[in-house]
Amino acid sequence: MTAMAATTTSHNRARKLRAGLVLAFRLLSIVVGGYFLSAALTALGAAGLAGLGMDRSEAVVLMSMLGFIIYLLVLIWAFAERSLPRLLAVTLGGTAVGQGLVYWLSMAPPALS
């Protein structure tokens, strides 16, 4: 084997390893980030519906059922998204905004009825 062939083989192995690591990181960020984003949106929806006058227990049950659909839609979008930085920005940013809004809604004074 010549030095050129050994270098090419080494570069191919490094390229395959890098591609595998990128894929593993992408899958991890899709599954974990998608879960956190759907959990934040589900909690935000439940808090919003409770704030609009729906019984809290009914709002939680409704949004818990819709949470599965939300997670499915987030996963489908995440697998279709080609840009990894955009995927991370949406999942991490959406989670932070959603949880921030849930916290803000939970600190609001209760509605007078």
In a domain, 12, yes or no: no
Distance CA 75, CA 78 (A): 5
What is the C-alpha end-to-end distance of the chain, expressed in Å? 84
In a domain, 2, yes or no: no
Distance CA 96, CA 53 (A): 25
In a domain, 9, yes or no: no
Q: What is the pTM of this model?
A: 0.79
In a domain, 7, yes or no: no
Q: How many domains does the chain have?
A: 1
pLDDT in tens, 32-86: 999 999 999 999 999 999 989 999 999 999 999 999 999 999 999 988 998 989 9
User: Which 3 state secondary structure label does DSSP give 52?
Assistant: coil
Distance CA 105, CA 96 (A): 14
Domain that holds residue 46: 29-107
